[in-house]
Amino acid sequence: MTIKILPPQLANQIAAGEVVERPASVIKELVENSLDAGATRVDIEIEKGGSKLIKIQDNGSGIAKEQLALALSRHATSKLASLDDLDAILSFGFRGEALASISSVSRLTLTSRTAEQTEAWQAYAEGSDMAVKVMPAAHPVGSTVEAVDLFFNTPARRRFLKSDKTEFTHIDEWLKRIALVRKEIHFTLKHNGKMVRNYRPAMSDTQYLQRLAQVSGKQFSEQALRVDCSHNGLQLSGYIQSPHFDATSSDTQYFYVNGRLVRDRLVNHAVRQAFAQQLAGVQVGYVLMLTLDPHQVDVNVHPAKHEVRFHESRYVHDFILQALQSALTQAESLGLEDDVF
């Protein structure tokens, strides 16, 4: 048996197995990079459910010419310098793996311009050959990443892709999740040349409710109850289904912790308990954002999973439960007033 270091391309492809499962995961990584770069507008364009083309354009900070090649290499990140930073991470990225992984399984072009540069530059990396070429290009301040022919060089992975429609649905669902929490960002999605989603910036409650209607339907947004509660450094805000309106199950179930979508047993339990009396057995709809000191929660669990760990889990659970109960009680007393008049 001989022990050998993996060649970089193979190492990247193996890492890609974890980060890049399907077109939706590519879009997740690229849009998160745009948001980390401070973009206020992100335009997504896909062809054939993303298997032919994924193109993300943002108006963020851009990447300087001399950093373009580095951005594509593994473990290269501008977001983390030491292990201490990891405790208080607020950006989406920090592993420095996404661009390297995506470029190892697609034909990737990164075009970018910073505000200091008078011209844009483009880096091209093709999966089969990790050498990066940098050339002049035309682009406004910000970045565009284009990933063409996803998994063209890993046929076994390519075969796992589902129909264009299914892959599109995954992308659309992911975009809903991010659109609900990054309400100030303008997102658009084009599929096969046609604009299919246009989430305009939501700067007021009314505009946010319009976005909520786009994502979850008018019925949900019209009856939703507002939640807004803070205590001891914890803050919970968002909307929950009104127990009076209807008792149908909703698939609008989004819970964010410091801006990240979370699927968490503790959170689910608190939500179910809050509704236990009014809507037992119904899948209650909610869009809730929990904000807390980043030192009180671990997010460094897995790049593609939605797990977090609260340091004071009991306390967080009870806070969520009480915040929801008080929103429900308020709605109840309003309901009574309605009956009186």
- One of 41, 79, 162, 197 touching ligand ADP (CB under 6 A): 79
CA dist 340 and 329 (Å) reads: 17
Measured from the CB of residue 29, what is the shortest distance to ligand ADP in angstroms? Answer: 6
Helix axes 164-181, 205-216, angle to 10 degrees: 160
- Taking alpha carbons only, the member of 262, 266, 273 closest to residue 308 is 262
Element (H, E) at 221: helix 218-223
User: Of 40 and 325, which CB lies nearer to ligand ADP in the complex structure?
Assistant: 40
Q: Which is nearer to ligand ADP, 50 or 62 (CB)?
A: 62
What is each CA distance from 284 to 16, 159, 215, 220, in whole angstroms?
36, 37, 16, 11
Counting contacts by CB under 6 A, is residue 33 touching ligand ADP? yes
Interacting residues with ligand ADP between 140 and 159 (CB under 6 A):
143
Strand order in the sheet with 225-231: 225-231, 234-240, 286-291, 253-257, 260-261
Is 77 a binding residue for ligand ADP by CB under 6 A? The answer is yes
Q: Which is nearer to ligand ADP, 108 or 271 (CB)?
A: 108
Positions that interact with Mg ion (CB under 5 A): 33, 93, 98
- List the one residue from 9, 13, 34, 109 that touches ligand ADP (CB under 6 A): 34
Contact call for residue 13 and ligand ADP (CB under 6 A): no
Nearest distance from residue 80's CB to ligand ADP, in Å?
Answer: 7
How far is 124 from 71, CA to CA, in rounded Å?
A: 12
95 binds ligand ADP (CB under 6 A): yes
Interacting residue with ligand ADP among 96, 201, 259, 294 (CB under 6 A)? 96
Considering the rule CB under 6 A, would residue 37 count as an interface residue with ligand ADP?
Answer: yes
Residue 308: CB atoms within 10 A of its CB come to 21
Contacting residues for 253 by C-beta, under 8 A, at least 6 apart: 283, 284, 285, 286
Which residues of the chain form contacts with ligand ADP (CB under 6 A)? Answer: 29, 33-34, 37, 58, 60-63, 71, 76-79, 93-100, 143
